[in-house]
Structure 1
Amino acid sequence: MRCLLTLIAVAAAVSGSFAYLSLDLGQLFSADAAAEMARFLLTFFPPQLSPAFLARTAGSMLETLAVSAVGTLCAAVLGFGLALPASGLYGDALRALSRLLLNLLRSIPELVWAALTVLAVGLGPFAGTLALALHTAGVLGRLFAEALENAPRAPARALMEGGTPAALVFMYGTLPCVWPQFLAYILYRWETNIRVAAILGFVGAGGLGQMLYFELSLFHLPQACTVIIAMLALAAVVDTASAIMRGGRHS
């Protein structure tokens, strides 16, 4: 009965949302709409493959890759620093304060952070790197804190009973238990950030996103097609590299 009532409530909410937003899916799936979308997509082809434009695209790909990598690395360091008090290692007061900060960092989307950092440091990849680092630090910090809270206590307890200093207890008793989880979280967020970094350019944060926004604003659709293909290729490369690294970690 509870499942049935839940399904009815969800169905009512979805139906109410369609009615409130006046969405007409019939227009989207009509023959005219399909023909119009097909004509629009055909204007993107063939993609622009001139050597000069491909060189520009390659440079933007490297910039996007660098933004995602540096942003994720900075986020991992900042997230780890906040995860230590957030896990309760330094008392309840610092735990509550650090968790509040982590919630604030991750509750603001990357695009909003990018808009703020562009105002702070100007247009370019530095703003995108800061935006990724701030949001991702909130995500990774929360995940790191939960991993530390759920880490096995037996190794650390054995070291403490042997008189080992607290710092060494953490380094050799707790950290080795959670490091595989940390690495998996970092690699996953890097995969996500490579896609986000390609979009942050729409607010002036550099990389492929900024290039795509420029080409679309001038209705250079073949050039935009090339940039979109570069985005897909970059995401595929990062996914493959992440899978290889995770496979090496498990082996």
Structure 2
Amino acid sequence: MTMPTPPARHWSGPVFGLLLAALVIASFASLPLHFGAFFTLDAVNSVGEFLGGFAPPELGPGFLTKTAIATAETLAMSALGTLLAVVAGLALAIPAAGRFGRPLRAGVRVLLNVLRSIPELVWASVLLIAAGLGPFPGTLALGAHTAGVLGRLFADALENATPLPEQSLRTNGASPMAAFFYATLPQTLPQMLSYTLYRWENNIRAAAILGVVGAGGLGQMLKFHLSLFQMSKAATVILAMLLLVALVDAVSFGLRRLLTR
């Protein structure tokens, strides 16, 4: 009776774990991390004094109206930027999924890498020079960066879709584009919508940050009032940011639940 051959050992897992542990240890050893400074009496007093300046928030009707307008502007920036990114991302995802040959696939994927490698703040800084201050360059900055992210995710989803339905339609005489829209795209559409909603959540936060460089919305208000040390007004803007993010998170969560049923 022959004994079963023991399975071959794969050293890639332990080696990867050791390399990761070495990287973590080297990171802690090379960075000047002073965790004890957070818990000194001076640090606690300074933080308490700083946070005390935010209370109570400014609740005057005029300022609340101004904050509501900036909140709507931030929401519009994120929504329109995400919509532009979905259109551009889907248009780039089709060739990036290899629909028009491998050379074009490689070129489009390089473009997607460039788009998503440049942060929104850098895009906004460049576009502010071209288009001036306001929400327009911020919206374009969100669209450019998010198009790179969604284009890559959409392309991967298309490549991972089951090819049999599309092949069956093409065998029965359907054109390649018709087979794609009726077989492959419906398979990946729920996943694409989930990616879109998740990126919309991220763009809400990014839109608030972009205002710091002059792209409008709540971020621009926050920078203005913090620079003048108007902490009570800055507290109102921060609360508006928190409420807006919580609202969008709740809406996005509900929509994702509907998509997965």
Is TM (by shorter chain) over 0.5? yes
User: Partner residue of 2:146?
Assistant: 136
Are 1:232 and 2:221 matched, yes or no?
no
> How far off is 1:31 after superposition?
2.0
User: Partner residue of 2:57?
Assistant: 47
Runs of 5+ unmatched residues, structure 1: none
Between the aligned residues of both structures, percent identity stands at 55
User: Residues 91 and 7 (structure 1 numbering): CA distance in 2 closer, same or farther, change over 3 Å?
Assistant: closer
User: Residues 186 and 8 (structure 1 numbering): CA distance in 2 closer, same or farther, change over 3 Å?
Assistant: closer
User: Partner residue of 1:208?
Assistant: 218
User: Partner residue of 1:183?
Assistant: 193
Are 1:94 and 2:104 matched, yes or no?
yes
> How far off is 1:135 after superposition?
0.2
User: Partner residue of 1:219?
Assistant: 229
> How far off is 1:7 after superposition?
5.5
User: Partner residue of 1:158?
Assistant: 168
Runs of 5+ unmatched residues, structure 2: 1-13
Are 1:2 and 2:15 matched, yes or no?
yes
User: Partner residue of 2:203?
Assistant: 193
CA deviation string 1:168-203 (max 9, x = no partner): 101101100000111000000000000100000000
In the aligned structure 2, how far is the partner of 1:250 from the partner of 1:137? 24
User: Partner residue of 1:81?
Assistant: 91
Which sits farther off after the overlay, 157-166 or 131-140?
A: 157-166
> How far off is 1:243 after superposition?
1.0
In the aligned structure 1, how far is the partner of 2:118 from the partner of 2:194? 23
The alignment's C-alpha RMSD in Å is 1.3
- Partner-residue secondary structure (3-state), 2:33: coil
One-letter code aligned to 2:173: G
User: Partner residue of 1:116?
Assistant: 126
Are 1:12 and 2:22 matched, yes or no?
no
In the aligned structure 1, how far is the partner of 2:21 from the partner of 2:134? 49
Structure 1 or 2, whichever has the larger Rg, is: 2
One-letter code aligned to 1:233: L
User: Residues 216 and 179 (structure 1 numbering): CA distance in 2 closer, same or farther, change over 3 Å?
Assistant: same
Q: Within 5 Å, which residues of 2 pair with 1:19-58?
A: 22-58=32-68
1:70 to 76, 80, 91: 80
User: Partner residue of 2:135?
Assistant: 125
CA deviation string 1:131-152 (max 9, x = no partner): 0000000000000000000001
